[in-house]
Structure 1
């Protein structure tokens, strides 16, 4: 019965989203989304999101300097940097390498850089998280990913790249929305919203069980918690937060 309801409501939402599918079919939506809609949405959303997860992010990044090299220098690679919403939480004087496949975040990113002069910005690399070939093997102390693994094409490939670029003993920090418990109403609605949501929000998957991918990624130690972020009327409240050590 639940499967039938999911199918029926999914079809209803897809009918409501029909204009979006038409724009996508005509090749209009994707360029508009990447260049205008999603950069604007992300800048507004992350400001609100950071207020809701302020304490969690402060706690998450509090021990980053524990992974600095013997000289006390810390090199951070952030995948899917977007508008730079995490910069305020990084420790002073750490070196930051930014990557993102979308070049249209530059306005918001420049604003975040100007507001966070306590960091040393090394470079911006326009690339997907699955292909960090411009970053050398075992060259960074920390990799950061927040609200990124939901929309990459291949989570396993991303985590392989994370392991490759991390120094031995380095850490991968993550804060990601994930699938709700499969027996919950939250998961029911995630399934219903999923097709138009993916199209509207630049490939974002609602039902990824990212914790399982991290647990299979050959890290030596994983500190992971399941939390709920207060995002009313959205299907992205279930999150995982933590870090994994290479």
Structure 2
């Protein structure tokens, strides 16, 4: 995972930058943070910490990840961003974040994580629980191919690499043929904005991950 994410890919970073740009305009529910014009963000499945560059200055960042082996890489990354008040990784799954209080964060971020979790519905329930009223849930995920007329081969490869266990083994449980949108749309958010697109993948290895969705759901 570190080998595959340690290098930046400019086109992908542009997509992320545009997607997370509105974070800087969000107003915190917390009076003290609001005075300082900063927000509190929770990232679920932080991994090695590849999203630091897209978070607004001064933000308070809480992170959870079930894999303790990411901590070394995450800690090395966070040192490069002293403008962000990032906390140590809470080793936990996103479907049980009891250590995080109800309505205590302004935004939740999940990127390329829902492909590998056991229970998407329970994670989304936890996302809604920890978000303050009006809070935003930012998501970016690769999904199963949605244009079967043009890319039926890609769908077959997604199914095969997932079924044989090769892709999940290499990429920490990742399943190529999932679509989290039905779960997100029924999770009880007041508004869900979503965009389906083909990601500018860095090389042919990730051709099977090109179908993507990104969006923002509001509590």
Fold agreement, TM-score > 0.5: yes
1:1-246 maps to which residues of 2 (within 5 A)? 42-48=1-7, 50-69=9-28, 70-71=34-35, 72-181=37-146, 183=148, 184-195=152-163, 196=165, 197-231=167-201, 232-234=204-206, 235-246=208-219
**What's the TM-score once normalised by structure 2's chain length?**
0.88
Mapped contact 1:79–1:144 kept (Cα < 8 A): yes
Deviates further, 210-219 or 159-168: 210-219
Gaps of 5+ in 2: 29-33
Q: Which piece of structure 1 moves more, 69-78 or 144-153?
A: 69-78
Q: Note if contact 1:130-1:154 (Cα within 8 Å) is conserved in structure 2.
A: yes
Unpaired segments ≥5 residues, structure 1? 1-41
Q: CA RMSD in A?
A: 1.5
- Asked whether the equivalents of residues 50 and 85 of structure 1 are also in contact (C-alpha less than 8 Å), the reply is no
- Count residues in correspondence: 205
Looking at structure 1, the residues matched to 180 and 157 of structure 2 have their Cα atoms a distance apart, in angstroms, of 18
Indicate the structure with greater helix content. 1
C-alpha deviation, 1:110, in angstroms = 1.1
SS at match of 1:206: coil
TM-score (norm 1): 0.79
